[in-house]
């Protein structure tokens, strides 16, 4: 069975064709600059050279058609007909409070995606365009929506409700949703399997540390709490996002700088995080680490603050679950930053966490990085959102 996984952004489209027999990637690729001049498709069949097509892509429908052509190309293709594709799995950002489980797309699902445009203004319209483009290109095939908010939707009320007038939840569905749900679901599941933990009871904390970063706590794979909120702005310090902040700061900056709320929110989303804290060095954690090594004080503080915030969330989530069996690191920073993982774990001695430096000296590979006598298993689990989406799709259509 071959499943096509689609992840649409407003001007981009990532895809992977996955053979579910061995869960191997047959081909993957990226359409860039959809709707903008200079559109380009980069197609990467497994074990073959990249194939680049530079053709105008005025919309997502054209992009999907180009993906279909590349997949069936006589020199660079990997299938002879779209009949070989069993179903299509889509990453969809938001279903508001309506859906949490993945679902086969029908008219009602499309209506919900549309109704949630205001909750995911950048992603939901693009996600819907991707679905409709696939419906046109491959009529009759099942399209499955896998929600980025799905994992967080399982949190209890005490974790998802904000302490603001309840009417705002009733009227506008304002609550904590959490994002990176597919990654948290995948990594917590893999941590349970790889760590040999009890699938019903395991208490797992996943640290998804990339440019966007979030932490989740789950018991037996069911989310108990997660750090992102109504939007991805809440929680950890990220590449460009501030994470948790006193909301009064917004008003204060508005008054002092003569800006409106939208401008300040833009600053909190795009100019803050380690980029802002370091005085503008970079949003890339490698640059921050290099600047820190060269003795830059602000870079050092930004990195320390990032690590400190992760450690505080781990402490809070351990309390929320009354214990923790495993902590898993994933995403760009979590999978590659050996020193960062160690620095976070150094805060956790009180939990009996002990890192094995040799085991921790690894990048991008599934591995237990804690010492044999560590009271909590610490693991590196590379995330694979595409595979998670393909698995969800397969499960639904069978």
Which residue of this chain has its Cβ atom nearest to ligand ADP in the complex? 332
Binds ligand ADP by CB under 6 A, chosen from 239, 243, 273, 276: 239
Q: Least distance to ligand ADP from the beta carbon of 286, Å? A: 4
Whether 148 is catalytic: yes
Taking the least distance from each CB to ligand ADP, the nearer of 197 and 307 is 307
Give the β-pairing of 103-104 and 367-368: unpaired
To ligand ADP, the closest distance from the beta carbon of 210 in angstroms equals: 2
Q: Shortest gap between Cβ of 291 and ligand ADP (angstroms)?
A: 12
Q: Is 333 in the site for ligand ADP (CB under 6 A)?
A: yes
Q: Is 332 in the site for ligand ADP (CB under 6 A)?
A: yes
Of 59, 108, 118, 148, the active-site residue reads 148
H-assigned helices in 116-244: 124-137, 157-160, 166-172, 181-194
Stretch that binds ligand ADP, among 72-80, 217-225, 244-252, 325-333 (CB under 6 A): 325-333
Q: Is-contact 324 292, C-beta < 8 A? A: no
Please report which helix (H) or strand (E) contains residue 144, including its range: strand 142-147
> CA-CA distance, 129 to 126, in Å (whole number)?
5
Distance CA 347, CA 173 (A): 36
Rounded to a whole number of angstroms, the minimum distance from the CB of residue 12 to ligand ADP is: 12
**Pattern 335-364, ligand ADP, x by CB under 6 A:** -xx---------------------------
* End-to-end Cα distance, the chain: 11
Cβ closest to ligand ADP, residue 29 vs residue 332 = 332
Distance CA 10, CA 139 (A): 23
Neighbours of 261 (CB within 10 A): 11
Size of the site for ligand ADP (CB under 6 A): 13
Q: Residue 242: which region, alpha, beta or left (left: phi > 0; alpha: psi -120 to 50)?
A: alpha
Instruction: Give min distance, CB of 52 to ligand ADP, in A.
Output: 22
Helix/strand/coil for 338: helix
- Residue 32 sits in the site that holds ligand ADP (CB under 6 A): no
Of 63 and 303, CB closest to ligand ADP: 303
* Strands (E) located in 185-253: 203-209, 213-219, 222-226
Is-contact 367 165, C-beta < 8 A?
no
CB of 206 to ligand ADP, least distance (A): 13
For helices 248-257 and 261-270, angle between their N-to-C axes, nearest 10 degrees: 110
User: Which residues in 272-301 contact ligand ADP (CB under 6 A)?
Assistant: 284-286, 289
Q: Contact, 2 vs 19, CB < 8 A?
A: yes
For residues 163-222, which are near ligand ADP according to CB under 6 A?
A: 210-212
Is residue 9 close enough to count as binding ligand ADP by CB under 6 A?
no
The binding site for ligand ADP (CB under 6 A) comprises 210-212, 239, 284-286, 289, 331-333, 336-337
Which amino acids are annotated catalytic? 148
């Amino acid at each position: 069975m071959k499943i096509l996984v689609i992840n649409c952004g407003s001007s981009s489209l990532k895809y992977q064709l996955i053979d579910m027999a061995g869960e191997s990637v047959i081909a993957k690729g990226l359409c860039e600059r959809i709707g903008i001049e200079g559109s380009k498709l980069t197609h990467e069949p497994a074990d073959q050279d990249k194939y680049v097509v530079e053709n105008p892509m005025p919309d997502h429908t054209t992009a999907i058609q180009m993906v279909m052509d590349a997949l069936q190309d006589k020199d660079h293709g990997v299938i002879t007909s779209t009949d070989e594709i069993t179903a299509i799995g889509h990453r969809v950002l938001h279903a508001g409070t309506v859906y949490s489980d993945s679902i086969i797309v029908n008219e009602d699902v499309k209506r919900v995606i549309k109704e949630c445009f205001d909750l995911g203004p950048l992603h939901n319209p693009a996600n819907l365009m991707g679905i409709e483009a696939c419906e046109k290109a491959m009529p009759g095939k099942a399209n499955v929506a896998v929600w980025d908010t799905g994992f967080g939707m399982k949190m209890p009320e005490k974790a998802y409700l904000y302490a603001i007038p309840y009417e705002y939840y009733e009227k506008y569905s304002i609550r904590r949703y959490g994002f990176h749900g597919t990654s948290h679901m995948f990594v917590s599941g893999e941590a349970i399997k790889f760590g040999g933990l009890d699938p019903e009871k395991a208490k797992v904390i996943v640290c998804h540390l990339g440019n966007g970063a979030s932490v989740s706590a789950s018991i037996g794979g069911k989310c108990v709490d997660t750090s992102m909120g109504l939007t991805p702005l809440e929680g950890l310090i990220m590449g460009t996002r501030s994470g948790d902040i006193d909301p009064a700061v917004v008003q204060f900056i508005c008054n002092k700088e003569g800006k409106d709320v939208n401008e300040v929110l833009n600053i909190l989303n795009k100019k803050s995080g380690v980029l802002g804290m370091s005085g503008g060095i970079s949003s890339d954690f490698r640059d921050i680490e290099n600047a820190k090594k060269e003795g830059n004080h602000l870079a050092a503080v930004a990195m320390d603050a990032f690590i400190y915030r992760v450690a505080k969330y781990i402490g809070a989530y351990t309390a929320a679950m009354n214990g923790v069996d495993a902590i898993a690191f994933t995403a760009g920073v979590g999978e590659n930053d050996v020193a960062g993982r160690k620095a976070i774990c150094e805060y956790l001695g009180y939990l009996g966490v002990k890192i094995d430096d040799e085991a921790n000296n690894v990048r991008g590979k599934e591995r237990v990085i804690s010492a044999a006598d560590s009271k909590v298993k610490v693991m590196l689990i590379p995330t694979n959102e595409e595979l998670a989406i393909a698995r969800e799709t397969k499960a639904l259509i069978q």
